[in-house]
Structure 1
Amino acid sequence: MSIQVQELPCQEGSIGLITLNSPKTLNALSGAMIDDIQQTLDGWAESPDICMVVLKGAGERGFCAGGDIRELYDALSEGRDGAKAADYFVREYRLDFSVHRFPKPVITIAHGAVMGGGLGLLTASRYRLVLPDITMAMPEITIGLFPDVGASWFLNRLPGRLGLFMGLTGARLNASDVMRVGLADMVLKPEQAEDLLARLQQERWSGDSAVDDNRLFRLVKQLEHPDYRALPDSELARHEQTIAQLSAGEQLPDIVEQLLGAEENSDWWQAAMNNLRGGCPVTAWLVWNQLKKAQQMSLKDIFRMELTMATRCTQRPDLKEGIRARIIDRDQSPQWSYASVADVPAEVVESHFTPELDDSNDPMGLD
């Protein structure tokens, strides 16, 4: 079992603690882990003893580096229709939606690598607490997928067109960046994260979610803030005006050309541009369209849209080829189905948004 489940007694009530426990893979979410977390949360949602849930990751290197894409590659290799791989996304998105809608407070304490599916869990939580060593990104363009796990919702809530920039470039954000744009609520010192559970266990929790949430909110607000001057300098503070200027416009090929042609010499910028330059052209269009379409959508409809998109990705060659090149063979030379953003036909892009299922046959069963 790649998660550790504990029920920690308090003065009254209990805390449900889930620890992602696959540190060798940076706690990448396997299908079994997703199922185990879902089953645990379903039970705790109905339990009168569990008053809140805490999520964290084992090991020193990260909370969760995303989905287990080796497992996804194997699923893609087991049939041409992509059905087994699509089922992985059904289960992952159901879990993320469950965290968003969980009837009790959910606290995620994230450290190190927080990418893809890890960011999905963090952003779905009521309390998003991070450690100073956090590195956050949505790097799906490098493997021919798209920013999923509800990214159509949380990337759209970033200032300006930063969400578009993150999706196009897989840019990595540090703790200062994350706080600057509101992707976390607080940076904790490592020792504070260790002490927080003990502090929570000293409290009397009523089992009334609203009452407990108010008490928890006050307790978290009382935590000592770290000296933000000691955190890494914000890369976004340095580049955000350039990002805003270059990401403006109504034609995606022009925006991509502007970004790639910018005379910015920082290592951070160049790493982001290398992701864009070598990334999947179809993914760039998916990012562009998903953010536009999601602006007026409910969270439930966003997950439904993303499931349609993911299902289509499992049926096309780019996702399997991207994982092969980046993770399996590691030649770092994916052969995408189209050479550039300008070459991608509009009908190929739009096909990713055409659902196979209607509301009466929803595989995620979202309430």
Structure 2
Amino acid sequence: MSDSPVLITEQDSAQGALGVITLNVPKTLNSLTLEMVELIQGALNRWRRDDNIAAVFIAGSGDRALCAGGDVQALHASAVEKPGGPCLYAESFFTHEYRMNYTLHTYPKPIVCWGSGIVMGGGLGIMSGCSHRVVTETTRIAMPEITIALFPDVGGSWFLNHMPGSIGRFLALTGAHINAADALYVGLADRFITSDRCNSVMEQLLAQSWTQDPGENHGLVQDVLRAAAKASAAQQPEGQVAAHRAQIATLCDANTIHGVVDNILALDTDDTWLSRARDSLANGSPLAALRIDRQLTVTRHSSLKQVFQAEIQLATQIVRHPEFAEGVRALLIDKDRNPAWQYATTRDVPAEVLDGFFVAPWDTNPLVDL
């Protein structure tokens, strides 16, 4: 197997061909780097123009993860190299990553994402943008950015706001883990298929006689995935979100974000899923909690393009702020899990500090041309 961090191949089908993208850094759970993002973007751009490529298939190398997120240590190095910014690598990474995410969301040809194993952060950004999103019994999804003082980006402002009720806000604030059944329930996935059927699904896709009509090709993909999902249905795991929806609504029912945080932190429960969600918020950055809530609020009625333009603005401000570097240091560099957050509670954050993150740090948004 090639040592390229992204394997890009074209496989002939009965008629036409399938473009295959494999994230190929299993030792880091296929965590994304700028090079990987550029390789994916380049393949998508070429295949969009290639009439022989009828559909795209995205997966992760190894059986542990589609993608565990971005290479946060590289982002940390960029942030500490020039505190206050501009942080050239980190800002370039976010700009290119969000552009790639937007490409996935708006791609005319069918894209199947095989979301098996860990799907977090940037991995969820990839999966959520694809037109045919498959989850398996091993799928573990989360957006735990609050633990490193970031926010659920890569389109999180879009898909979290489109979840039922208050579920998106709860998941964003707590980084709670969800599985395949949950992903289907909240709209992050389209099909549950057991992981052992991946090769069979690929064989069926390669057996298709693709057409020049993307709409018809979407239908052919649906036929293949529908049959595999039907055969897998009995093995779908039980989820957590649907069973907790009423309690999530109660926890998020407050006049201010401070009240929501208070409600979650005050949880006294033996429920493992809820207690882990509570503890994640308790250990996360209070400043990040406020940014997460504000971002979801200001993008609630935004278009997809506006969402990514808002996300690059916020991500740029965050990576230039010391709280992000401290969060990564504590969780992933020194691994002491004892971050020195600048504020003890959300109520301690001055309004002008929060407001500053929602001001453009440049004259022209780097994603203005989406």
TM-score, normalisation: structure 2: 0.95
Work out the percentage of aligned pairs sharing the same amino acid.
36
Match of residue 236, structure 1, among 237, 241, 245: 241
The equivalent residue for 2:30 is 27
The equivalent residue for 1:336 is 341
The equivalent residue for 2:300 is 295
Looking at structure 1, the residues matched to 229 and 219 of structure 2 have their Cα atoms a distance apart, in angstroms, of: 18
The equivalent residue for 1:208 is 213
1:198 alignment partner AA: E
Match of residue 89, structure 1, among 82, 90, 94: 94
2:324 alignment partner AA: L
User: How far off is 1:267 after superposition?
Assistant: 1.9
User: How far off is 1:154 after superposition?
Assistant: 0.1
1:74 alignment partner AA: A
User: How far off is 1:74 after superposition?
Assistant: 1.3
1:46 is aligned to 2:52: no
* Deviation string, structure 1 residues 223-276 (Cα, Å, up to 9, x no partner): 342555544332223322111111112211111111111222122222111110
- Find the residue that maps to 1:12 and give its secondary structure: coil
The equivalent residue for 1:259 is 264
Match of residue 313, structure 1, among 291, 312, 318: 318
User: How far off is 1:221 after superposition?
Assistant: 2.3
The equivalent residue for 1:124 is 129
* Deviation string, structure 1 residues 61-108 (Cα, Å, up to 9, x no partner): 111101110111111122121422211111111110111111211110
2:87 alignment partner AA: A
The equivalent residue for 2:278 is 273
- Find the residue that maps to 1:91 and give its secondary structure: helix
Higher mean alpha-carbon deviation, 229-238 vs 51-60, is at: 229-238
- The question of whether the paired residues in 1 share the 8 Å contact of 2:67 and 2:118 is answered with yes
- The question of whether the paired residues in 2 share the 8 Å contact of 1:169 and 1:272 is answered with yes
The equivalent residue for 2:70 is 67
Match of residue 111, structure 1, among 106, 109, 116: 116
- Find the residue that maps to 2:98 and give its secondary structure: helix
2:81 alignment partner AA: E
- The question of whether the paired residues in 1 share the 8 Å contact of 2:317 and 2:361 is answered with no
Match of residue 355, structure 1, among 341, 354, 360: 360
- The question of whether the paired residues in 2 share the 8 Å contact of 1:115 and 1:138 is answered with yes
Looking at structure 2, the residues matched to 331 and 51 of structure 1 have their Cα atoms a distance apart, in angstroms, of: 48
Looking at structure 1, the residues matched to 312 and 213 of structure 2 have their Cα atoms a distance apart, in angstroms, of: 34
Q: Which runs of 5+ in 1 are unaligned?
A: none
Looking at structure 2, the residues matched to 26 and 60 of structure 1 have their Cα atoms a distance apart, in angstroms, of: 9
Root-mean-square deviation (CA), in Å?
A: 1.5
Equivalences for residues 99-178 of structure 1 within 5 A: 99-178=104-183
User: How far off is 1:157 after superposition?
Assistant: 0.8
The equivalent residue for 1:9 is 12
* Deviation string, structure 1 residues 110-155 (Cα, Å, up to 9, x no partner): 1111011111111100000111111101000000100100001000
TM-score, normalisation: structure 1: 0.96
1:327 is aligned to 2:339: no
- Find the residue that maps to 2:160 and give its secondary structure: helix
Looking at structure 2, the residues matched to 332 and 197 of structure 1 have their Cα atoms a distance apart, in angstroms, of: 41
* Deviation string, structure 1 residues 148-181 (Cα, Å, up to 9, x no partner): 0000100011111111101110000012222222
Looking at structure 1, the residues matched to 215 and 229 of structure 2 have their Cα atoms a distance apart, in angstroms, of: 24
- The question of whether the paired residues in 1 share the 8 Å contact of 2:193 and 2:233 is answered with no
- Find the residue that maps to 1:156 and give its secondary structure: coil
Match of residue 185, structure 2, among 177, 180, 188: 180
Looking at structure 1, the residues matched to 183 and 223 of structure 2 have their Cα atoms a distance apart, in angstroms, of: 22
The equivalent residue for 1:57 is 60
Q: Which runs of 5+ in 2 are unaligned?
A: none
Looking at structure 1, the residues matched to 223 and 237 of structure 2 have their Cα atoms a distance apart, in angstroms, of: 28
Higher mean alpha-carbon deviation, 206-215 vs 16-25, is at: 206-215
2:330 alignment partner AA: A
Cα 1:3–1:248 shift into 2, 3 Å: same
User: How far off is 1:182 after superposition?
Assistant: 2.2
- The question of whether the paired residues in 2 share the 8 Å contact of 1:26 and 1:65 is answered with yes
2:64 alignment partner AA: R
Higher mean alpha-carbon deviation, 233-242 vs 187-196, is at: 233-242
2:22 alignment partner AA: T
